[in-house]
Every structure is written in structure tokens, then in C-alpha cells.
Structure 1
């Protein structure tokens, strides 16, 4: 689809869109990594993405290839840069012809920079002088096939004599056929606002999209602003100066600035936000989260699967479920079809599926070394194979031969059942839970836009031994709503289903026919069968020597097992798991009209809301007895609450006792309460640590010394020592019994920011971005290190002091035995990619609890790892606190709210 049309549709609805820019990497490995990153960022639902061209057309072919592949296989609407510097007309024509043939409909027409090594731009023979010439050329030779965008320069082009002349040239480009403008980066929103006003005064009426480049590193920021002659407001320079050597602090500031600028731009009626990503993901994701855009991603999804943006597939609305975890394979195998199913799947004898492409993009797989690390260096028996599938379900590995990416979010609701099935030898490669009338904007199951209801039949697809196949056949005969289709590699099959296609996902929306985007179909299943069996050998068995036990084992499974597709047509009360004859588990799930959760682990009711913070809540903390709670946040304030009583005026809101503010100059990051309830300490990004008197609200001591922002504070057991951990790679210990305001000890062995501290009588446990959990034994002066290899964002000690929880940015929480350093268990399922999110033990030590960036709270059984979750907020849950004695938790959210949840103690 043309981007100009998508922009207009967004503006007509009153929405603000966002888009991303990428550039072609220089190496094949870099291209591989970019494809992976673009796949991930596609899930953020940008309106479009653009791909740069390279000075003098130096990367033209790569730009076209990446744009075409991303559009064809990742479902991204691509805007391809094209520059005319140092390119003759015939070269430009060849590039445009190739782009058109690849299905690209959108061009950003630029003059471009000189080729590398040249000091200035020189027109080549039969070439172009300016971007307007390229716009005219495209319109002359291609009519309206391409939607054309051009660049705008809010501070004026570096080679232009003045801004008025620059705007005159911009109007020439628009008059020649450009349909929208994307601006160069800027850091003063007033510059953009004035630029738009000047453009409107000059008669330029098309959309003008602001370009935003999040600050990633100080050096990169200085280089880019110097190269582009970008004006930098004094307050930005002043904010960066004290943190310029701390990359993590600079990134955090860049995110905060990006959120502030974006809000100002939206208030100025900018139609959208265009992010210059520098091929990086985290900062852009955090900015979008901070703006609240990601909380309603599901409302932007047209279908439960990502559609291709190729024009010939524009009306495609139905796909077989079998390729859910290998969508690029499906797109490739159906690329030659002339028509695509729309509304209904149609005749099962419709066009044949093609062979898999041998192109680089289709074969982009993990290296043999990485696959061996995930799927086993030396498999000995089938239990080893079963364990690989269990690890995938639990999120301990990210890929299987049949699954390009980790489990879909919705599948986490059936993780417990999938784990049991795989342990029993039912090797699952595809599944979905049943869903009964969930809202179409549900963050987990929603699609199709707001106002509708979505439904799913439970589905499981797995490889099974002949013995387990017999079990399925026998059990299915007693389950009248179950249908199955099974086949081995030779084509021997069993089925109790007809050949007609059956919808397994559908949606009901106002003023629309019922949509049925996902089906099961016997003809498609047989086409998928050949591919599925081949992956055992091409992806897995090929890792081992032909004569090895591991290769023999994989070949045996390939030769003897069945691939079976199972549908439970009872989407209201069915239990598909009965067909596997598994040990009895918890009650079956049903999303929509009924939700069954682990009653003994999860909250049943939201008792009260703690409302008052203007911006994200960074920490919630109970006092020692749980009689009151303190919260702190980005608004520089600390609040004291009674969570057990309603407020004076509003029922259902907790009683606010006191607000403490006026001392921290930036975000308050953490707070800790003394055992006698008379004092509390706070820390913030202003590098300060304050000790407060609870009744009077006065600061009684101020601790200075950290050179960067302070992330965490914690009293020891008797509040005789206060500890603070900082971006400056240190923990400082402050004596509470004397009036000495210099630290009594500085722990400085960290290699990056200290994110979290837990304290026992004689030990300090610290988490750090360098990927190491350190335990300092103060009795003997020794340090124990556990290497997590991922940034550690939260640590907690078990009630008995024997175990450590370590949460990290790879989306895992590890349970570590403190004395031996042994990793006892890993818990996954929650979404952690950008935020520092608390993890903790429950009040009785039986469960592990964490927040999640999708607004849910997750709970795992400490011993067997059973997981469940509930939707606590609409945005990321950064912080939690368990009541020290009673079944109650408090959650804090980036939307500025905190909530008190009561918990049932009976199953």
C-alpha cells in the first residue's frame, strides 16, 4: 500500500502513527542481525519503515534487497530511500525498475551525500543536480505507481543560503509530485513548529513528519549533531555533561528526552513520529512504551498473523494454521499464487504449494554451534529430545527447527499443559488456547481493531510415537468434539475429520461479516507434512556425525513418528488436554467469559488504587510490619499510604497520609523504610541520597558522593547502615549511628551500573548491568560472583536466606543457591526487554513473582515452575511489593498508578 494513503488514513482517524528508519549493514552477519531485529520491531506495529541508500548509491542493491524482503516476508510497509548523487539516469531507471518489480511502492527521493572520500557533490554525466530532478524523473517515467516522500530541513540545509530559500526548494519538490515530508533530526521542538508554520505560509500543505533520533551514546550524539549542524538547547547539554561517560545513564536520558519531545510534537499536531533507530531497538521501544503506544498494540493488528504488504496479497485474509511459527516459509511457498484466499479458504484443491526458496533470507538460521547448544551436544535417548521441547516451551531456548521465534504471548497461558505433554513424549510444535469472546483489543488475544469479540478453538500440533498415536486415537473416540489428522513421513494417515476447511480462529465485528483468518485444511496439512518432517534431518540430524547416537536417534524419530493436528471444537467448555491422558493438572484455561487462575498464588481482587503520581511509579515498598506503604516516581515525589483504608473522599482509593517532595531534582528511583518506622531513605537520578523523618517530612541527613544517579537504597536489618547503588558502578555504605556523612565503605568492583541490592545480617547481594550477581560476605571480607551473562535488573533473597532470585533483561528470572552458586531453576514467560522490573519471593517463600512490560503480574511455583498471570495494569508493571505477613501485594505501573491486591490462600 502507498504510505501517503496510510498516513492520510491515520490522520483521518485522528491517530498519531510512528515509523522507523534502518540502514543497510556492511557485513552479511550484520544483515542477518538486522533482519532479526526488524522482525522483532515489526511486532511494535509501525506504520512503515524506511531503508537508507548509501552515499552515491554505494549500497543500492542491498537497500533494494532488504526492502523487498522485509516487505514480502516480514509484513513491513517499506519506504526505500533513493539518492541521485553520482548516479546516471540509466542507473536510476534500473534501480526503480528493480524496486517496482520487487513490489516496492514507496520512495524517499533525496539528492544524497557525496561518495565516500569525496569532499563535495559533483553532478555526473546524464545525472541529476537536485532531489527535485529525481522527483520529476519518477513522476515522468512511472506516473503514480510510487508514493514519493522528500526530506525537510527545519534548521535549513547546510548548503543553502537561508531557510526561506530552502523552503522554496522544498515547495518545488512537493509541486513536482512529493506527497509528504520527513524532517531531519532536531532537538528543539520549537524549531519544528516554526518550520511547519513557515512551510504552511509558503503553500506547502502535505504532511510534515518530525524525525527523532534518540540519544544512544554521548560520543554518537556529538558526532551526529556536529555533522548535521543541529542546534542543541543548553538544558540538554547541561543534562548530558555530568553523565557523558556513563552509557546507560545517557541512554536513559535519551529515552526521557525522546518521550518529552514526542509529547510536545503530538501536542503540536504532528501527524506521526519518525524514529532514526541507528539499527537499535531498545531506546525506541522504551519511548513508545513511555508514550503508551504499546499498551494497545493489539488494536492495530488487522489479523492474528502479520499480513504481507505486497500489493498482490493486499486482500489475503485467510491462512492455514500450520505455518504459524514459520510464516516466511508459507509466504515463500505461496509466492507464485495468482490469487489469495479472502474471506474463506475455498476449494482444498486450489493452487499447489511451491518448494522452499534457497535464498539467503529464507535460509537465515542459527549457526550449527548455536543449534547444538540449544538442542543438545550429544543426545543419548528420547528423554533428551523431550527435554529440548520442554525447554522451548519454558522459554529456556528460543528456537526449534519448526519455530523461528519464541512462543507467542498467548501460548504462555497453556505453558503448564504444554510442558506436561512434551515430557510425556507429545512433541508440540504449534498450539493455541481456546478463547471465548475475548475483547478484540485484548493485549494478548486481540486483533481486528476495537469493538469486536474474538474466538479460538484449542489447537495442538505435535510429533508422536506410534504408541502415543494409538493413545490419541483411543481417547478421541470418547471425545465427540475432538477431530484429528495424523500422517507419517511416508503418507500413511489416520483421521476422524472430513476434508473441508474448518476455522479455528474467528472474529465478530460491528458492520462486518464474521472474519475467519485461521483454518485447518487437509490439503494444506499434507503440504506442510513434507516440510515438517524434512526439518528433523536438515536442521537437527545434520548437526551430528552420521554414525553418532544422536543422529541415529533423530533419524529414528523422523522415520517412525506421526505428525498429528488436533482441534477441539468445543471452545466454551472443552479440554483438549484430555486426549493426551496426562496427569491431572490445574483446571483448564478459558480466555474471555471465564478465567481460571492459580487461586492460591494470584490476586483475586483489586482492593484499592493508589493514585496521585504524575508519571511512572518507580518503587513501591512496605514497612517491616506491612502497616503502610511508600511509593516514589518520576514526578520527584514520595508518598506515604495506608493501603488498608479507603481515602477520605473516594471509595476504592487508598488513604494518602503524606507527600514528601522538594528535595530531589530528578526522578526518585527507590525508597527504603527503617525498622522503627521513624525514618526512611530515598535516592534519585540527581545523585543524592536523603534520610527523611517520617512524621515531620523533613530531611535530617543528606548523603553526597555518588558521581551519577542512584538506582537503589536499602537498610540493613537493624537500620544501622544504609546502602546505595549507583550508575557510577559503586555501592556506598553510610553509618546511621553517627553524624558522619562520608561513606564508611565503598564497594567498587562493579563494571557497570548497580541496579538492585538485597541485604541480610552479614551479606550484601547486588545485581549489576555487567551480568554478574555479587554476594559480599562482610564477616570474612569475601566476594562470591555468579555470572548471569545478561544485564541483571533485580535481586531478592529468599525468606530463609538460602537462595537468590536474579531477574535479567533476557526475560528470565534465575533461582540460585547462595552457598554453592548452583542455578536451581529458571522462570520465564513475562515480558522484560527495556525496563528495570522487580522480581521477588512471595510472603511465604512458595512462589516467585514479577511484573511485566505488558501490564501483567506473573507468578511461578518455586519448585515445579508452574506459571500463571493476571492483567494488573494497561502498561508496564515496573515494581511490586509483597506484604511481609499477609496475602497481599502492591503493584506499581508506568501509568502513574499503584494497586493493592488481596490474594486467596485456598486452592
Structure 2
């Protein structure tokens, strides 16, 4: 069913809501997401939307997931995102035809990432340079025009890549509507007053299609900071003042995220905003708790509908007696994790007991080393933003390397604080890495380019400013590990050294871009390298290295060599160097299990 028809034909007195999901990184994660969507469908969303990776990178998974939602779980309003920039010729038509064949009638038409290197970018379909082009094409093509309901994105806080003022950006939004867009879903925001001001200007500009605000409950401090930076989201100082003191306790951050989302939705509802789009990050409980606290689902929903129906001025607003305070919040989950950097994250692995229940076992944000069975495993950002920098910024920060020594120099400058980032780490080195920086310098000087590491930690307080995470009164532990790009000869040498002299203390994974793979673990083996012990809670293993998670990260890590190369002309020495490194090097991850000896891993790697 078309989304606009569904909105028009609604009979419920509560505002409607939709859920957004992205295709998981692993097959097991995909199957678990399908189960999660089935459970969330019982909350009666008006529809669900499925994201689309840059350049069609998730095409098959996006189509399959959208089809399952539509055809197996009776979610008759399924919205498939579709980006057009950097799409190969014909892929847009293929995607639209596949959506039509599967009964999907709603498309969110997006431009996607801009060509960072312009003529250096991959070949694209010349028909599409903007979302407006895609909208116009769909609506003007007889094969698609009457069949699809087409929506577009709105940017209450402004588009990160636009230098135009707000009025000009609203004019661009109107151009997309004039091209045939029938609804608008906005980028995430955290300032309700600012959204209402923007929404008023949108209506004044003559844009009368449904505008559905995007709401993302905060899941962790690290993901919140990263996503708001990527989206250019304005974060109110009051929210920063609330989240900074609790940034190490993921449960408190999640609880705050639920309260903030409830407050935003409530304020907008009281101002006649009648629909909301929840970005779930493939997680379940936060969105469910938001809806419960709003009393849109559960035992209070019927009472809520009866009460709001008597409000003559705002028939769907909240009466005062239904205002819910923080003390009404649902009981929090029983464990707490964190994200680490670079390229890694945190979640709980499935174990025994209550935490393995389908709705809660992975409810803390996932990342590099989470459990690959999680639907949210490996999420870095929602829109596959790649390196997240412009070509100009890349040239400024990373230069024009033409030799492997130049690559080593970049990594060394980063470790010494002289370069602000690398393609694998978009933030300066964390304080956690300072004790092992001399060791990392040694490895990079050898041409082993490090993209992830952590020191050994033995029972440090969970309140420690550098290493602490989770609730107060706990202790956290870490095994030292490091991962780096190196030659195949280095991998073979280290494999032999670990086998002959490691005495069972070390495990490793190694792979190249073509999926050639080595390890000294069994097929099902995994390695928990970060865990915490907290009063009244099960042990939490927040950082796990196992085959599926390593291979998923391997694909992403090698992809950054490709994306870096695309900033440079095809025949340039820099482009050729980066592509040769991508094609010839291996990614290797080594962990040492003696977490009581802070130098064990580094001494082993220095030995000859």
C-alpha cells in the first residue's frame, strides 16, 4: 500500500510511526533481524523503511529485506530507500523493477554520497545528479510513475554539504516536491523547537505533503557523537551537559536517549505533528520503551485514545494527565557496555540465562568486535558514508603518498598527533592508547600499519576516566591486541612465530581482500578481549574477535584503500600505490591472553 494512502485512511487517534532498518553485515545477523522485525511489527507501525548502501552496495540485501517485510510479515507499507549518485547505469531501473515485482510501492529517493573526486569517481548513471532527478524520473516513467509513492529527505538542521542558507535549502526541498515527491522524512535532530521553526517555514513555502520527523533514540555516547557529526546535527547544550557526565555508562546513556526521544515526540505531538520515523539502528528495546512511555502501545494505549479524543483544540495531542516523568521509565536492562575506537564497538555476546532472550541479548550498540550474529553488528553510520571527508580534506590531511614509506609516515604522524586522522580512524588517538603508543610507533616504523589496538588492563575500576565503562562499583579487564596491514610474508613469519614460540598465549586472524584466510583458532572459536564484572550482574563481554566479525571488518578495512584511491586520478602514482596495497597486503589481528602482563604482546612482537 502507498504510504500516503495509509496516512490518509488512518482511523487511530494516536500519531502514526514508522521504523527504519538497515541490511545487516552478516547472514546470521540478517536472519535475526527478520525475527526482530516480526516482533516489532506487533507494535503496529504504519510501515517500515529499509536503507540502501552507497552505490547500491547493499542492493540484494535491501531488496530481500524489504520483500520479506512486505510479503512474509504483512507490513503492507514498506519503504525502500534508493540512492542514485554513483549508481552504475541501469541499476536504478533494475532496483525499481525488482521492488515492483515484490509488491513494494514506496521509495525514499535520495541522492546518496556526492562524487568526492568528481571525474575520479566510479562511472555513474548520467541521468541522476540529485534526488530531484530521481524523483522526476520515477514519476515521469510510465512503468513506475503510477505504481510508486515517492518520498524525499528533509534537513531541519541543514544539509552538511550545502553552503546555501536555510531558505535556499527549503527551496531545493520544494523543487523535489514539485518533481513529484509525496512525503518527506527528515534527518535526525535533537532540538524540537528548532524543528518546529523549520517545519513552519516549510509550510509557509507551500510544501504541503506529509513531513515525518526522524527520531533516533541515543544508543551510546560514541555513536551519538559520531552520527550527529556526520549529519551536522545541532545538539542543544542542555543535552551535552546531561550526556557527558554519564558517557561511560551505556545503560544510563540509553535511558537518557529514551527520555530525550519521548520529550521530542511529545512536544511535536502537542504541536500537531502527527507522524514519526524511528531510526532503530536495528535495535529493539529503546524504540519499544519510547512507545510505551508515550502510551501508544501496551495497556495504556486504549485509555490514551479515549482521553485524547475529547480534546477539541488538538484532537491528537497529549492531555496533561498523561504527561510521564522520568520515574515512569521502564526497568533498564541488566548490563552495560561501551564503544571503543578506532573501528570497534561494544555489545553483549549470547550466553546463558536471561540475556539470551530474543529481545535483549544484543541491545547494547554493536561495532567492530560485537557479536556477528547481531542484526546491528558492524554499524558505523546509517548511510554508508565511507571515509566521511571531502577530497580537499583528504589531500590536506593525508597528502599524496607515492611509496610505502609515505604511508608509514602518515601513520606515524597520526600516532604523534601531527595528523588529525587516517582513513581508518576519523578522530585523534584516544588517551587509552597513550601507554602503548611507543609500541605502535615501532610497528608502524616496520611498515605494519596499525588500525586497531588496545592495552592490557587488569581489574581497573569501572569509574576510571580512561578505561572505565559500565555501572559504578565494577571492574573492567582487557587483553592486549593489535591489528595491522602487512605483507603475506609477514603473516607467514608471525604465524610460525606464534606457533613455535607463543606457548598458547596468542591467537590471530589474517585475511586479504580476496578472502584468503589464516587463523590458529577453530572455525567456531572466538576471543573475548574486553569484559566487565559489575555488582548484581552477569559478566559482560563487550569486545569479541571471531571469524565472521573479523571478515566483515576486513571487507570494510580494505574498502577504505579503494575509497582513498578514488580521490586521485586513475593513472596517478598515488592511486596506483593505494590500489596495489589493497590488492597485495593482508590485515592481521593478534591478541595476547595474559592480561596481567601489560608488555607481553609488545615484547613478543619486538622479538626476532
TM-score by length of 1: 0.34
The 8 Å contact of residues 132 and 173 in structure 1, kept in 2 or not, is answered as yes
Residue aligning to 1:79: 79
Matched, 1:127 2:130: no
SS in 1 for 2:298: helix
- Choose from 471, 485, 491 the match for 1:727: 471
CA distance in 1, matches of 2:174, 2:123: 22
Matched, 1:223 2:218: no
- Choose from 255, 258, 277 the match for 1:255: 258
- Choose from 267, 271, 296 the match for 1:293: 296
- Choose from 180, 198, 201 the match for 1:198: 201
CA distance in 2, matches of 1:117, 1:283: 39
SS in 2 for 1:768: coil
Residue aligning to 2:138: 138
SS in 2 for 1:45: coil
- Cα 1:149–1:86 shift into 2, 3 Å: same
Alignment of 1:422-501 (within 5 A): none
Residue aligning to 1:283: 286
Q: Report the CA distance between 1:144 and its aligned residue.
A: 1.8
Q: Which has the higher contact order (CA 8 A, sep 6+)?
A: 2
Q: Report the CA distance between 1:14 and its aligned residue.
A: 4.4
Alignment of 1:737-886 (within 5 A): 751=532, 754=535, 767-768=536-537, 770=539
Q: Report the CA distance between 1:127 and its aligned residue.
A: 3.3
Alignment of 1:331-370 (within 5 A): none
Structure possessing the higher radius of gyration over alpha carbons = 1
**Structure with greater strand share of residues:** 1
Q: Report the CA distance between 1:124 and its aligned residue.
A: 2.2
Cα deviations by residue, 1:456-492 (Å, 9 ceiling, x for unpaired)? xxxxxxxxxxxxxxxxxxxxxxxxxxxxxxxxxxxxx
Q: Report the CA distance between 1:154 and its aligned residue.
A: 0.6
Q: Report the CA distance between 1:13 and its aligned residue.
A: 5.4
- Cα 1:38–1:4 shift into 2, 3 Å: same
- Cα 1:706–1:53 shift into 2, 3 Å: closer
CA distance in 2, matches of 1:771, 1:133: 49
Q: Report the CA distance between 1:172 and its aligned residue.
A: 1.0
CA RMSD of aligned residues (A): 3.5
Residue aligning to 2:36: 37
The 8 Å contact of residues 152 and 183 in structure 1, kept in 2 or not, is answered as yes
- Choose from 179, 182, 189 the match for 1:179: 182
SS in 1 for 2:180: coil
SS in 2 for 1:262: helix
- Cα 1:89–1:48 shift into 2, 3 Å: same
SS in 1 for 2:112: coil
CA distance in 2, matches of 1:247, 1:27: 24
CA distance in 2, matches of 1:222, 1:119: 32
TM-score by length of 2: 0.50
CA distance in 1, matches of 2:98, 2:330: 52
Residue aligning to 1:214: 217
The 8 Å contact of residues 83 and 112 in structure 1, kept in 2 or not, is answered as yes
- Choose from 227, 240, 243 the match for 2:243: 240
- Choose from 156, 159, 162 the match for 2:161: 159
Residue aligning to 2:52: 53
The 8 Å contact of residues 50 and 78 in structure 1, kept in 2 or not, is answered as yes
CA distance in 2, matches of 1:614, 1:205: 30
- Cα 1:122–1:246 shift into 2, 3 Å: same
Matched, 1:101 2:101: yes
CA distance in 1, matches of 2:97, 2:132: 19
SS in 2 for 1:82: strand
**Structure with greater helix share of residues:** 2
The 8 Å contact of residues 727 and 752 in structure 1, kept in 2 or not, is answered as no
Matched, 1:2 2:2: yes
Alignment of 1:365-444 (within 5 A): none
* Number of equivalent positions: 334
The 8 Å contact of residues 52 and 82 in structure 1, kept in 2 or not, is answered as yes
The 8 Å contact of residues 21 and 52 in structure 1, kept in 2 or not, is answered as yes
The 8 Å contact of residues 532 and 540 in structure 2, kept in 1 or not, is answered as no
List runs of 5+ in structure 1 lacking aligned partners. Answer: 300-438, 443-449, 451-611, 620-631, 635-704, 709-725, 732-749, 755-766, 773-907
CA distance in 1, matches of 2:283, 2:256: 16
SS in 2 for 1:98: helix
The 8 Å contact of residues 85 and 121 in structure 1, kept in 2 or not, is answered as no
Residue aligning to 1:501: none
